Amino acid sequence: MPNRFDGAEEVMRASFELAAVGIAHVALDGRFLRVNRKLCEMLGLERDELLQRTFHELTYPDDLAPDLSRLSRLLAGEVSTFNMEKRYIRNDGKLIWADLSVSLARDEIGRPAYCISVVVDITARKLTQEALRESEARAHLADKRLAEAFATIGDAIALWDGNLRLVLCNDHMRQIWRDRADVLVPGIRMEDLLRAAILHFGVDLRGSTLEEAIRQRMAMVGNLPADLEVQLADGRWYLVRERRLADGFVITLYINLTEMKRKEAQLLEAERDLRRKVDDLKSAQSRLETMTADLIVARDAAEAANRAKSAFLAAMSHEIRTPMSGIIGFTDLLLETSLNQQQYRYIKATKGSANALLTIIDDILDFSKLDARRVTLKRVDFDPQEAIDSTVSLLSPTAHAKGLKFETRFDRNFPRLLNGDAGRLRQVLLNLVGNAIKFTERGYVRVAASHRRLGGDQVELRIEIIDSGIGIPADARARLFTRFSQADDTASRTYGGTGLGLAICKELCELMGGTIGYESEEGKGSRFWFVVVCDVPSAKTSRQPDEPETMKEKVGRRLDVLVVEDEELIRSMIADMLADLGHHAELARDGQEAVAAVQAGRYDVVLMDAQMPKMDGVAATKAIRALDSPANVVPIVALTAHAIEGYREAYIAAGMNDYLSKPVTLRALDTLLARWSAPPSARPSSLAPDESPR
């Protein structure tokens, strides 16, 4: 006969195993003695694996101490059971939340035997609670930020819910209501607040009754967006701007227009005043038109005068530079002949004098460039002592003719090789020394040159010109460096001069990184000084500029060159230069002869004068380029005495390939021919204006 207790035990085992919650018998030392299927599923362990573990290992560390504390009280008999929420660590590392209930099983004599733990998985509930808390926190934060945003808005603003009840408003809204701000309580209906506003502020209903006005206003709210201007009884104006949000809420903005309305009234008054003044202006308009016409006539006259000045400078450039070309060119040729030391020194001095004179001519012709700040420096290696000596030597005969003691002094270790604009340095020195000689009738003129090494590869040159001349009156010193001005208005009659020299010297010194100054006492003499900054050339690129050079050693292949020049002197000089450089020259007197020669012969380069009778250089170039033969690509170099800016660009645009300015030197001619003696594939198609030799 079956034992009824056996059946009950079977039911108990089935209930333990199939329970919907986790159940475990846990030894007092924490080992799992018996576990059901649900607990194994919750912890992700097989039954035999779980029986090898303790609850200490599976409890989240932060929850272990509270668990052990409650267990101690249970074992001490202080409580019969305990309950807590704790976290378990699953086998896959994930955490689960559980509601743990623990009771104590005792043996036959009442001693604690093991714990009975009932574990309910509450992870989903916990996640829901956490999400709800986060949602509430976000909502609270959103409300806080909305209130903060409302507080920062400079105008009054109110937010209404979908039922048009007040949700929130800012302090500016309360300031509008002033002593009745107590009506602005959350939940008040817009309709009720509107009624209170009409009565409190005395709004002009424009003939409508109170209720009609409220109905019309609420109808506007039902058809948003809407804008409405309202004037209160105390004179304040507001623009009421309402918009419906996506969630059905309505936002109302009250923009204070009082100041704007006041300014509008002022503008209306100003407009009336302006109309009155317009009438006055119309009467002045005719006078202005007359003045404008007069100014146009004056402008046209000034432009015509400027064009005439440019034409005069161009003509002067051509007329002066052409004979200078002969002087410098033949001097170059003489330097290429066999000379003794004395002859070489004389010819070298002649060339230095000619170059100094050419520098002065260039500066006079380039006055317009100085005026427009378009002067650029030409930096080359040069011997500063030789530059100073040659300039002083140029003026030495004038000083000695007046019986003046004339001397030059250099400080110790004065540099013999620098990089800078030697021509501009000579120009300044020539002007100052010339002035000293001109204004000194007896006594001396002394030139003292010193130097100072600057940081990096730069040297500062300081040149002083001391004389015992007439000095400078105190009342004339303020205009000393002013253009077209002299220290003494009678000086131009007594000594000559344009009054441009010192002004140009000042600009050139500043352009070379220096300055200019003076000390003077009327009747006792003057000390003028100027400072310029030069570079120290590198050892790889520098050479002694004083050493005589010959071009003959540099000649490459022999070139056939057509020289087109109407001046017989210049024509023969260039032919001699070409011969000296080892090239063959054929000559033409004008553009017509040049076109015929190019058609009949074969030339490596054509040197084309710009100004010639019958056919000038530009017309001849265009005719050559139009030839139906291979000769139409021959390199053509503009050979001209025009030094005014703009001509060079015109020659290149006309089809010429390069530009050589008179006076022509052997070095410039040799450099140019070397450029165009290269194979056609290596030649430049044309020379940019700023690359042209000067």
Contacts of 424 (CB under 8 A, 6+ apart): 359, 377, 378, 508, 511, 512
pTM above 0.75, yes or no: no
First to last CA, the chain: 137
Are β-strands 444-453 and 405-410 bridged in parallel, bridged antiparallel, or unpaired?
parallel
Alpha-carbon 464 to chain mean position: 41
For the chain, helix (H) and strand (E) counts, in that order, are: 21, 22
According to DSSP, residue 689 is labeled G
Are β-strands 605-609 and 636-640 bridged in parallel, bridged antiparallel, or unpaired?
parallel
Same fold, 12-121 and 376-535: no
Q: Would you say 675 and 667 are in contact if contact means Cβ atoms under 8 Å apart?
A: no
pLDDT at residue 97, as a whole number: 95
Which 3 state secondary structure label does DSSP give 118?
strand
Tell me the one-letter amino acid at 402.
K
The CA-atom distances, in angstroms, between 162 and each of 142, 147, 189 are: 18, 19, 11
In whole angstroms, give the CA distance from residue 555 to residue 580.
Answer: 9
Count of Cβ atoms closer than 10 Å to residue 671 Cβ: 14
Class of domain 376-535: alpha beta
In whole angstroms, give the CA distance from residue 89 to residue 153.
Answer: 51
Count of Cβ atoms closer than 10 Å to residue 5 Cβ: 8
Evaluate whether the domain defined by 554-691 bears CATH number 3.40.50.2300.
yes
Q: Would you say 420 and 535 are in contact if contact means Cβ atoms under 8 Å apart?
A: yes
Are β-strands 156-160 and 22-26 bridged in parallel, bridged antiparallel, or unpaired?
unpaired
Class of domain 12-121: alpha beta
In whole angstroms, give the CA distance from residue 87 to residue 59.
Answer: 6
- Nearest CA-CA partner of 81 in 112, 50, 60, 107: 112
Buried-state track 131-169, b at ≥16 Cβ within 10 A, e below 16: eeeeeeeeeeeeeeeeeeebeeeeebbbbbbeebebebb
Q: Tokens at residue 279, please? A: 């009438």
The three state secondary structure string of 18-56 is HCCCEEEEECCCCEEEEECHHHHHHHCCCHHHHCCCEHH
In whole angstroms, give the CA distance from residue 424 to residue 439.
Answer: 23
Alpha-carbon 240 to chain mean position: 47
According to DSSP, residue 656 is labeled -
Of 3.90.1310.10, 3.30.450.20, 2.40.50.140, 3.30.1300.10, which CATH number belongs to 153-256? 3.30.450.20
pLDDT along the chain (694 residues), means of 10: 61 84 93 94 93 94 94 92 94 93 91 93 90 79 70 82 87 81 85 84 78 84 82 82 87 86 87 87 84 82 64 61 70 79 76 67 58 70 91 87 92 93 90 91 94 90 94 76 54 45 85 91 92 86 46 63 90 89 92 92 90 89 91 89 66 86 84 80 53 40
List the beta bridge partners of residue 84: 100
Per the omega criterion (within 30 degrees of 0), is the bond before 537 cis? no
What are phi and psi for residue 286, nearest 5 degrees? -65, -40
The kind and range of the H/E element at 156 are strand 156-160
Q: Would you say 658 and 686 are in contact if contact means Cβ atoms under 8 Å apart?
A: yes
Sign of the torsion formed by the C-alpha atoms of 665, 666, 671 and 674: positive
Which 3 state secondary structure label does DSSP give 364?
helix
Which 3 state secondary structure label does DSSP give 115?
strand
Q: Tokens at residue 219, please? A: 């109808």
What ranges do the domains of the chain cover?
A: 12-121, 153-256, 376-535, 554-691
List the beta bridge partners of residue 576: none
For the chain, how long is the longest CA-to-CA vector? 164
**In 349-431, at which residue ranges do the beta strands (DSSP E only) sit?**
380-382, 405-410, 418-420
The kind and range of the H/E element at 98 are strand 95-106
**In 486-629, at which residue ranges do the beta strands (DSSP E only) sit?**
515-521, 525-535, 560-564, 584-588, 605-609
Q: Would you say 120 and 86 are in contact if contact means Cβ atoms under 8 Å apart?
A: no
pLDDT at residue 116, as a whole number: 93
